[in-house]
Structure 1
């Protein structure tokens, strides 16, 4: 059933000036991605996603330590995209995007020279780090002199307190959750959106992290929101997009992660999802950056997420998104079969196979949920 058409706005929830800056992101069509000394799976999560979803807009990856190598060999995306050592090697560049997502969101010293070079050339800089480049006195002065614009994607002043809102009953809310950080929650959400749109469904990906915002051109940097307003900002994000038939709310962190469980809980209770997609990386046994902390079983996560989410709104796991990058295709098939039999749920590897299996599960679930 098509969602009820209600009069609400689509822009990101932030101050007007920041919203205007964020809305410029989709207008860049000659992008250089900065990954200096960090072109690897551990750090270049933002670069990987940009290369996957904004391929046509990317003209180069900047990493002087990897010149001569292939981007795809290093991070699995970006076939044919050159690696350069300096902005001076390129013409007509719109923007330099900082392409890494390090723990703590700090700017590595190795990247400072390239950012300065771009600003001095009048090129805009887009960053998703917690270190706000626009608040660096020296960079701000250089930008004012050159005409460059610095966009800090995580900068926001969301001041929404959750009200236990009543959502549009015809809008199905699907939220991706994980067994750890950096397992593919954003990719799963985006791939499901694309698959549903391909089928003619009015679906919308709701970005809650810096990488998703760089792709979508809107959203809420939920991990940079004051804790009192975390739930409310997630709630408002859904309210502002509830005129769509299905919303895919990007997940963050993990409910058992020693560092990031708070943001996961806030999203669960703020967005009040009908259904959950559990994302996991096959073969990962310990928490990212905390090798002494074991990851609970998927069965435990199903119980945990359903119980905690349902404290706000009845919710259940309806599918599993596997990240099989550590497995061969043959091993991946066996893993999917094993997990599906164990949990009684559909399992797919969206990286290799696309999201058709999960889209099927969502549309079947929609019949009973809305």
Structure 2
């Protein structure tokens, strides 16, 4: 297989050599130059001054096209009626001006327009059915001349090598396409110029045309066709299924442990908070109990020092007969079992025992 030739400056040179007026933008009935009609370098696409719906007529004006080669032509507006395709026995040239009769063998044809040439009587036998575009109805246009693709093994043949500009990850490169007038299943050797049998998969090759699959691999052997579907064994499906389900189960297990770790951390936080609150509650209860015992020690008869603490008459309020002679401290037990004092500081008053009860 021919090595790719990188052409990084091809596009730049083509832009510099392009005319000032952009090709393909002249509308209907406007002036054009038939001399500007050519094949674009690298792609060999037909170029003209006129737009996609017109062609440059002999009177140097753009006229509406009279035929089309494609089922879905490019460049037509949705509200425009596209021209019809040519009937059987006729073809539409690159200019797409009007349908013309098929050309006989030896007639001049346009580049790679195999459909312009008339087929041989045994066209059904010679027609290409591989889908590689080797010929059309057994006829082929080589070097702009109509021929029949009917040359057999060992006989002289005609070859045409065309360099196309292709694009890849590393930039531009040249893709050489070689065609010949050999029968389907044969190729025209460029060195000997005779028809040779195509090679099977796995045999050594130098170009795509040498392989029956039209695919010469980079290692120099014929490979399968590029559109061949890849078939894998049943074990591949089993391994893939195991990997998928294993990944799902592994993900679920990993999520379980991660979430369990988070739950454990949250549980520890809540438990620590409960312990702190419980400790605070016990401290408060202990403080209340201590305060109760401390205040009880200052009640009458509760301490020897109580007899010495005799307040003055101004500081002692009048005693009421309905006063409770028991301790002045009043407690109640809350719902949670803690003892709460419902008196304010002003309610806690030390009272003197009257030595003569009943006297005014």
Query: Which range, TM-score by smaller chain?
Result: under 0.3
TM-score, length-scaled by structure 2: 0.25
Structure with larger Rg: 2
RCO higher in structure (CA 8 A, sep ≥6): 1
